[in-house]
Structure 1
Amino acid sequence: MSRNRLASVASAVAVLKAFTSTSPEWGVSDLSAAVGQSRSSVHRILSTLTDEGLLEQDSRSGRYRLGLALFDLAAAVPSQRSLHEAVLLPMTDLRNKSGETVQVGVLDGRQVVYVERLDSPNTLRLFTQLGRRNDAHCTGTGKVLLAFLPKTELERLLRGWTPPRQTEHTIVGRTALTAELTLVRTNGFAENRQESEVGVVSIAAPIRDDTGSTIAAMSVAGPADRMDQRRDQLADAVVTLALATSRRLGYRGRR
């Protein structure tokens, strides 16, 4: 542990991170068990965070949820605000052109976090939630984000990592994954062919900022039969509209 790390702050952060899209509300006892802290400690943290507006407490159930002050903090993050503004129109265009679910993800370590989503208008949809995480090696967005990392950073992430198998199609070997990422850099887009969920295919392309760094990836995803019928068309569309997003962020490269 870093000498500069404050245990009290780390405890409060652990409590905040427990509030997710799948667990939006917590009672004191359940949260105490989830974060591995005493009930009295968690209660003090919850009270403090509520006083500061970062959490709010339901007056009837007594359970806690995220407060409005967190939205103010999120709005103060320039890169995320710019990304949100830049992707909205291209994502809508891609969803309308493809008829499939469109998502934007960012890299967090060896995982991809989905920060934007537009659902497919078709009957059979994907219900990926915002904030959901998945291992980067088995998703289209994740492969893009890994492939376009600086070489030294990619090597650091891959060192000592045994990628978990999610389906029979998941690429788990280091040699095979490295070859796959090389192909992604060559093609300019990545494919997830039922590697994270059987029956689901996705195609993703990089979103770059004004420095040329890949900061996110845009993907189109749907059932394998629908996606396979239009693979080339969808790949062209996602590459074009991811590039359009990059242009809105100031990127001036050719691809």
Structure 2
Amino acid sequence: MTKLQQSSIVHKCAQILDVLAHARRPLAYMEIVEKTGFVKSSAHRILAVMEGEGLVEKDASLKAYRLGPKLSYWAQTAWRKTDLQDVAGAELEAFCEKNGYNVALSIRDDDKVLYLRTLDSVPVRYASRAGERAPLHCTAAGKVFLAHMSESQQDRLMGELKFERLTENTIVSAEVLKRELKLTRLRGYGTADREESLQVAGVAAPILDTDRAVMAAVSIWCPVAQAGIGELQLMAPELLEMTKRISAQMGHHIGA
């Protein structure tokens, strides 16, 4: 078989995969033939090879084809190997440089927020650093993580929180925090207005994974002498656009 023939077969396999990927349901053999324009014998031969390799699978009851399990395995493996910090790094740096606010990337570590990376546009001595942890109940990122949990997960974790009062603005009531979490879920971002520190306000938005679960959060924050919570919330649309782009690169399909 010549290189040109091999290339042609690969191209035809890619066409079939593309057709199946865009279909809303499994496709019958003749539908694939019609959508690709392939000769019947060629389509049959290629589908047989692809089925043997796990690239497509045939539903015997429907007599139709769908994407195969090997593609799912490849996709999941690729996403697992995608490093969150590498993907988010350029976005965080650009946002910080453009807008002049401090930025942090974090994940949930049980009942704490764990900072993976921090960028300080305005250095302050009380700023959190990579590797440090913060409470869930009084940080914008913590509220994002809590807000996107299932009700049972949320109830369990909130039952374990100590609700330590760190400032006069700290929410120390589970009932009040639940109302705040509903608002967080509704508008798509969380806020913390001088709740962890009287000198700081912040806003955070989620990064979603392939299952629409929150895998991380991006926070923007600054000393209230620089900007209050109202001014930071004006940045929420841009923050949400950034986290959507990062989510897409981590495998989340925005329209799903």
TM-score range, shorter chain: 0.5 to 0.7
- The change in CA–CA distance for 1:123 and 1:217 in structure 2 (over 3 A counts) is closer
CA contact (8 A) 2:117 2:129 kept: no
Indicate the residue corresponding to 1:161 in structure 2.
Answer: 161
Give 1:211 shift: 1.6
Q: Distance in 2 between matches of 1:101 and 1:80?
A: 28
> For the Cα contact (< 8 Å) 2:204–2:220, is it kept in 1?
yes
Secondary structure of 2:116's aligned partner: strand
Count matched residues.
177
* Per-residue CA distance 1:43-70 (angstroms, 9 max, x = gap): xxxxxxxxxxxxxxxxxxxxxxxxxxxx
**d(CA) in 2 for partners of 1:137, 1:80:** 31
After the TM superposition, which residues 46-57 of structure 1 pair with which residues of structure 2 at under 5 Å, given as runs?
A: none
Report the TM-score, using the length of structure 1 for normalisation: 0.64
Determine the structure 1 residue equivalent to 2:241.
240
Contact 2:101 2:222 in 1 (8 A): yes
- Ranges in structure 1 where 5+ consecutive residues have no aligned partner: 1-77
Shift of 1:81: 5.5
- Aligned position for 1:203: 203
Per the normalisation by structure 2, the TM-score is 0.64
Residue 83 (structure 2) aligns with: 82
Distance 1:219 1:161, change over 3 A: closer
Aligned counterparts, 1:1-255, within 5 A:
79=80, 82-120=83-121, 122=122, 127-228=127-228, 230-254=231-255
Once residues 142 and 79 of structure 1 are traced to their aligned partners in structure 2, the CA distance between those partners, rounded to angstroms, is 24
The offset of 1:124, in angstroms, is 5.2
Q: Is the 8 A contact 2:221 2:232 kept in 1?
A: no
Higher RCO structure (Cα 8 Å, ≥6 apart): 1
Structure-2 change in CA distance of 1:123 and 1:132 (3 Å): closer
> What value does the CA root-mean-square deviation take over the aligned residues?
2.1
Identity score, percent: 28
The one-letter amino acid of 1:152's match is S
Q: Which amino acid aligns with 1:117?
A: T
- Alignment check: 8 A CA contact 2:202 2:220 kept: yes
Unaligned runs of 5+ in 2: 1-78
CA gap of 1:245–1:138, structure 2 versus 1, over 3 A, is: same
